[in-house]
């Protein structure tokens, strides 16, 4: 009776071994908290790049690996998510477990709140998150929103207080703010030696030792670090060390010590202090991620049944991106492997259509650079090239059928009519609109009155329109003109209600690219009036960006 189980265990052992090596996470933050700089620093410490780009968007400095669009380089912000995969050998854990040769899948997220829908998609594809906080500003609105998404999805969070090399708040005040504002109990693993603006090193609260950092020119290379005993640290740093030890003891007295079970349950968050631009605390963060963050786990399908990591291959498409390479008009669909082994060239089934899909061109992604990948395991992010039939939220599988819950689209709040400004480019215009729609850069709405030549773009934030205009020009040589529409709300409706709604003042009905009917409404008062006077009509709220 036990033989089949033993045989199964032997067959799945290689998959389980590879899964144990994987760590897939995203970095979330408010704009300008240093997210892309930290992403670059993590790649530097994993020794997959030789020199960090430091702060992007500054004259004479390099742009970061993860920011490749011209708009990102010019403004110094991230407006699109990207994936970086690299190997990293972690140090031994404090409890004596040896380090492992890990495979890190880091999915960088847009920093600006206008692109929170793209960030939400990324958070459906990761197992953990790093919440980056500015030492001076503390918790900011976009950070709070994204944390709530992590909480809703059960994603454990590691907190990094960044920019400790600059003046900022007192560390205990920041811990109080995290605890009171989001109800997440901070459990610092590394505590700063030196006040904000005088960052000397870190007290390892698990061992009591001191990690002392030395600055490098511009922070472009790995900062040398020296490990000292508590006694040596006291001699070297004096009062700064004494203060750090006293504060650490106060944290222990209040129960603020790391507990792995509470962390994975989403009740606590390990904390460390660092400076991404100086590369201080970055290797400690990498080791924490490998040591504490969970490897890939089973995922629930639409019927709330678990798809185990050892089940046959399955994956979820969480992003579609074109324009990565101006020399080739290809399109990349990012999929997160959920279960089983992916092998390049295998024929899989798209659960949405029931049609087969051949994965001949599969690539591992590192920012804008790509290389062919032959095999991937649960947790890995793989780019499928020229996947024209795939859209965001699609489930791919082999052998054992499965379909995962769809990724919801957010409720748009900004609406503009799109027109091409130059005649004779109707074909390029249509191709550009189709591309933006399929990628989810914006939501594209159409109706018979406006026709194909004047689709309506719907967005969470107005900067999405700027991305559309910039990409239509650079990738399709189309000069796009956009005119604002007098609508502020979107509600889902149905065919039975559409005709009546279209006759109402201040309302216009459109069909979204996925076939959903949306009623655009001029303002909340008009919506309340229609709901009161015509309660039989369907006007259902969509997922809000802050949900």
User: How far apart (Å, rounded) are the C-alpha atoms in residues 43 and 65?
Assistant: 9
Is the CB of residue 481 less than 8 Å from the CB of residue 429?
no
Query: Which residue positions form the known binding site?
Result: 108-112
User: Exposed e or buried b for every residue in 362-392, given b needs 16+ CB within 10 A?
Assistant: bbbbbbeebeebeebbbbbbbbbbebeebbb
User: How far apart (Å, rounded) are the C-alpha atoms in residues 135 and 117?
Assistant: 26
Query: Which residue positions form the known binding site for GTP?
Result: 108-112
What residues contact 323, with CB distance under 8 A and at least 6 apart? 69, 471, 474, 475
**Both tokens assigned to 124:** 């459906």
In the numeric block, the tokens 């590394």 are attached to 190
CA dihedral 141, 145, 147, 148 (to 10 degrees): 140
- Specify burial of residue 340 (Cβ count, 10 A radius: 0-12, 13-18, 19+): buried
User: Exposed e or buried b for every residue in 305-338, given b needs 16+ CB within 10 A?
Assistant: eebbbbbbbbbbbbbbbbbbeeeeebbbbbbbbb
User: How far apart (Å, rounded) are the C-alpha atoms in residues 203 and 186?
Assistant: 16
**Both tokens assigned to 127:** 């197992």
Which one, of 207, 206, 197, 200, lies nearest residue 236 by Cα?
200
Which one, of 42, 29, 41, lies nearest residue 77 by Cα?
29
User: How far apart (Å, rounded) are the C-alpha atoms in residues 175 and 272?
Assistant: 11
Q: Report the length, in residues, of the chain.
A: 547
Q: Helices (DSSP H) in 62-170: which residue ranges?
A: 70-75, 116-123, 141-153
User: How far apart (Å, rounded) are the C-alpha atoms in residues 99 and 414?
Assistant: 49
User: How far apart (Å, rounded) are the C-alpha atoms in residues 28 and 36?
Assistant: 10
CA angle 13, 21, 68 (to 5 degrees): 135
In the numeric block, the tokens 């049944």 are attached to 305
**Both tokens assigned to 159:** 């907190």
Is the CB of residue 366 less than 8 Å from the CB of residue 84?
yes
What residues contact 95, with CB distance under 8 A and at least 6 apart? none
Distance from the Cα of residue 426 to its chain's centroid: 35
User: How far apart (Å, rounded) are the C-alpha atoms in residues 303 and 405?
Assistant: 9
């Amino acid at each position: 009776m036990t033989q089949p189980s033993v045989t199964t265990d032997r067959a799945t052992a290689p998959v389980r071994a590879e899964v144990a090596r994987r760590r897939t996470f995203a970095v979330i933050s408010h704009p300008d908290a240093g997210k892309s700089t930290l992403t670059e620093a993590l790649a530097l410490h994993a020794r997959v790049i030789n020199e960090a780009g430091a702060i992007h968007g500054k004259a004479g400095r390099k742009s970061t690996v993860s920011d490749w669009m011209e708009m990102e380089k010019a403004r110094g912000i991230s407006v699109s998510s990207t994936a970086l995969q690299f190997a990293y050998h972690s140090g031994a854990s404090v409890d004596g477990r040896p380090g492992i040769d890990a495979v890190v899948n880091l999915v960088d997220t847009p920093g600006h709140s206008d692109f929170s829908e793209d960030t939400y998609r990324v958070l459906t594809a990761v197992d953990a998150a790093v919440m980056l906080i500015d030492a001076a500003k503390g918790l900011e609105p976009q950070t709070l929103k994204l944390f709530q998404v992590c909480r809703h999805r059960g994603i454990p969070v590691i907190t990094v207080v960044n920019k400790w090399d600059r003046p900022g708040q007192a560390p205990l005040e920041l811990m109080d703010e995290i605890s009171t504002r989001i109800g997440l109990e901070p459990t610092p693993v590394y505590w700063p030696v030196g006040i904000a603006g005088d960052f000397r090193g870190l007290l390892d609260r698990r061992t009591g030792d001191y990690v002392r950092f030395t600055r490098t020119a511009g922070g472009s290379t790995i900062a040398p670090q020296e490990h000292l005993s508590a006694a040596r640290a006291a001699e070297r740093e004096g009062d700064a060390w004494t203060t750090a030890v006293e504060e650490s003891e106060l944290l222990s007295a209040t129960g603020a010590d790391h507990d792995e079970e509470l962390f994975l349950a989403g009740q606590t968050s390990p904390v460390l202090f660092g400076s991404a631009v100086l590369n201080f605390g970055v290797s400690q963060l990498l080791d924490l991620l490998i040591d504490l963050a969970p490897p890939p786990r089973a995922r629930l399908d639409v019927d709330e049944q678990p798809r185990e990591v050892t089940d046959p291959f399955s994956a979820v498409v969480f992003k579609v991106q074109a324009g990565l390479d101006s020399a080739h008009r290809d399109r990349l669909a990012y999929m997160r492997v959920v279960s089983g082994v992916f092998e390049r060239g295998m024929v899989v089934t798209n659960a949405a259509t029931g049609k087969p899909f051949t994965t001949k061109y599969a690539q591992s992604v590192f920012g804008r650079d790509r290389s062919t990948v032959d095999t991937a395991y649960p947790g890995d992010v793989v780019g499928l090239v020229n996947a024209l039939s795939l859209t965001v939220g699609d489930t791919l599988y082999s052998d054992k059928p499965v379909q995962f819950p769809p990724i919801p689209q957010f409720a748009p709040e900004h609406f503009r009519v799109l027109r091409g400004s130059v005649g004779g480019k109707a074909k390029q215009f249509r191709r550009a609109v189709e591309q933006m729609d399929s990628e989810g850069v914006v939501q594209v709405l159409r109706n018979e009155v406006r026709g194909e030549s004047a689709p309506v773009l719907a967005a969470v934030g107005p900067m999405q329109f700027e991305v559309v205009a910039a990409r239509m020009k650079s990738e399709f040589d189309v000069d796009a003109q956009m005119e604002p529409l007098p609508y502020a709300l979107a509600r889902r409706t149905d065919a039975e209600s559409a005709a009546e709604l279209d006759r109402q003042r201040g309302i216009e009905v459109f069909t979204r690219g996925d076939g959903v009917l949306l009623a655009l409404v001029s303002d909340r008062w008009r919506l309340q009036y229609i709901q009161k006077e015509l309660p039989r009509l369907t006007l259902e709220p969509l997922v809000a960006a802050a949900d």
